[in-house]
Amino acid sequence: MHQRASLILTTILLLVAPLLALATDKKPFRAGVATSNITPWLDDGLVGNFGTPPPAKYVHDELHARCFVLDDGATQIAIVVCDNIYISREVLDEAKRQITVATRLPADRILVSGTHTHSSVSARWKNPLRPEAEFSEYQRFIAHRIADGVRCALYNLQPAKIAWGAVDLPGQVFCRRWLLKPGAEIFNPFGEPDQAKMNPGNRSDLLKPASPVDPQIVFFALQTPAGQPIGLLANYSLHYVGGTGPNHISADYFAAFADRIQELLGADRLDPPFVAAMSNGTSGNINNINFAVVREKRKPYEQIRLVADDCAQAVLKRYRELEWHEQASLGMRQRELELGVRKPTPAQLEHARKVLAGPQRADKFPHERNYAAKAIQQLESPDTVRVILQVLRIGELGITAIPFEVFSDTGLELKARSPFKPTFTIELANGGYGYLPTPEQHKLGGYETWLGSNKVELQASVKIVNTLLEMFSELK
């Protein structure tokens, strides 16, 4: 009897031993973070303004590429969040090329996005649909510095734990597109009637917002096995805050959040340094102004700090409840999607040519001359454009990446239909091609739907959502 029991035990050990060996040999989950300074020089034009961009005269806070590299032992991915509103795909392709040459990390395992600060210098072509022959000095600079940041993050790879979570913060996000009461007349730059008004002010004929908002902050956090913070990447569907000083370079609330959450986590002066980032969610129709009430005036940067602190406090509260994982499966997919480029109608083209033919002609409609030029630019652009779409899986967390200013409607749909919970979308990722309204929002008109603000076919958001969900199904 004793011999039989010993034989059974020996057999079990022989069967289990290879499995135990595999478990022992499994590589630890690792993470590395780093930042790279991408602050432009003074006197170049600041983006986010109609007409001639005002020159930068002062650096209030430095701009950075905030880099995260994750490695589950089988797959390695990099995520970069840049303090810049628009970076052309070709510039980011060059950054990825440099990373691949230096590290062998494949370009289709790298996600690079911009935030939405209106206080940076653009790294985008004058016409994002038509790349120019040579990079500008700043485009070359920012590509190189993004590559440097990812290389440093790879150098900083260390065993890590990861956690993810979500928390609602509804008080800082508001739809900036409003429907007006019957009888109100509003027009686009081509003299065509609109139903939705962007940033309408506190007027008496406001009816209701044109879209729902997404109040959710989703984030993942990284720690050493001993519990020391390594990094944190958050996502919030808020356009930007603004209220900076005149002619200032600033990373807006995105960087203020990163600074504040580092302070709240007690993660200052670590080696290697802790890195936090706030990526831009689906906020093409969202800002920080509730037009239903009158907001008190703020000093420069006061509102930025208030919003950043609210976001950081909400994340901190959820952070304390997180479940930490010593392992998390990573996955990433990338596809190129061809979209039709939107062209002016015959009536719009005739209107644009008439406006541009009279240099002394005053605008009869909003930004009429500006959009007449945009109509001609669209006419002369290629008929199609190929854009990069990406999906990522980090454990049960899902991320989508879209190279447009995406409406909250689309972000909420992706969250509802994603097989991963939670899910968030990083907009202005791997390029920037203007606004992406849904077909329903196109029918309402408004600034974001105008030809030139929106550059691609009216069904583009539908095609993008379907493609992203197909890619998610491959990862699941």
pLDDT digits (tens, 9 = 90+) for 165-219: 999 999 999 999 999 999 999 999 999 999 999 999 999 999 999 999 999 999 9
- 351 and 298, same structural domain? no
- 216 and 144, same structural domain? yes
Can you tell me the mean pLDDT for 228-236? 98
- 145 and 279, same structural domain? yes
Q: What is the largest CA-CA distance in the chain?
A: 107
- 246 and 132, same structural domain? yes
**Number of separate domains in the chain:** 2
In-domain check, residue 51: yes
In-domain check, residue 471: no
Can you tell me the mean pLDDT for 19-30? 65
Strand 186-187 to 193-194 pairing: antiparallel
Q: How confident is the model at residue 21 (pLDDT cuts 50, 70, 90)?
A: very low
How many whole angstroms separate alpha carbon 64 and alpha carbon 433?
Answer: 22
- 222 and 353, same structural domain? no
How many whole angstroms separate alpha carbon 175 and alpha carbon 170?
Answer: 11
In-domain check, residue 402: no
Token pair 């135990």 is found at 20
In-domain check, residue 444: no
User: What pLDDT, on a 0 to 100 scale, did the predictor assign at position 18?
Assistant: 47
- 286 and 321, same structural domain? yes
How many whole angstroms separate alpha carbon 235 and alpha carbon 215?
Answer: 11
In-domain check, residue 15: no
User: What pLDDT, on a 0 to 100 scale, did the predictor assign at position 52?
Assistant: 83
- 367 and 312, same structural domain? no
- 145 and 254, same structural domain? yes
* 3-class secondary structure, 322: coil
- 353 and 314, same structural domain? no
* 3-class secondary structure, 80: strand
- 242 and 361, same structural domain? no
How many whole angstroms separate alpha carbon 431 and alpha carbon 414?
Answer: 20
Q: Give the tens place of pLDDT for each residue, 309-333.
A: 999 999 999 999 999 999 999 999 9
Laid out side by side, the sheet with 177-180 consists of 196-198, 177-180, 206-209
Q: Select from 407, 6, 50 the least CA-distant residue to 210.
A: 407
pTM, 2 dp:
0.94
In-domain check, residue 405: no
Between 257 and 116, where is the model more confident?
257
- 114 and 84, same structural domain? yes
- 149 and 92, same structural domain? yes
In-domain check, residue 430: no
User: What pLDDT, on a 0 to 100 scale, did the predictor assign at position 360?
Assistant: 82
In-domain check, residue 303: yes
Q: Give the tens place of pLDDT for each residue, 44-60.
A: 999 877 778 899 999 99
Q: Select from 212, 259, 205, 255 the least CA-distant residue to 413.
A: 212
What domain range is 370 assigned to?
Answer: 342-380
Q: Give the tens place of pLDDT for each residue, 410-465.
A: 999 999 999 999 999 999 999 999 999 999 999 999 999 999 999 999 999 999 99
Q: Select from 159, 142, 143, 146 the least CA-distant residue to 79.
A: 146
How many whole angstroms separate alpha carbon 78 and alpha carbon 88?
Answer: 18
Say if residue 50 is exposed, middle or buried (CB neighbours under 10 Å; 0-12, 13-18, 19+).
exposed
Percent of the chain whose predicted confidence (pLDDT) is above 70: 95
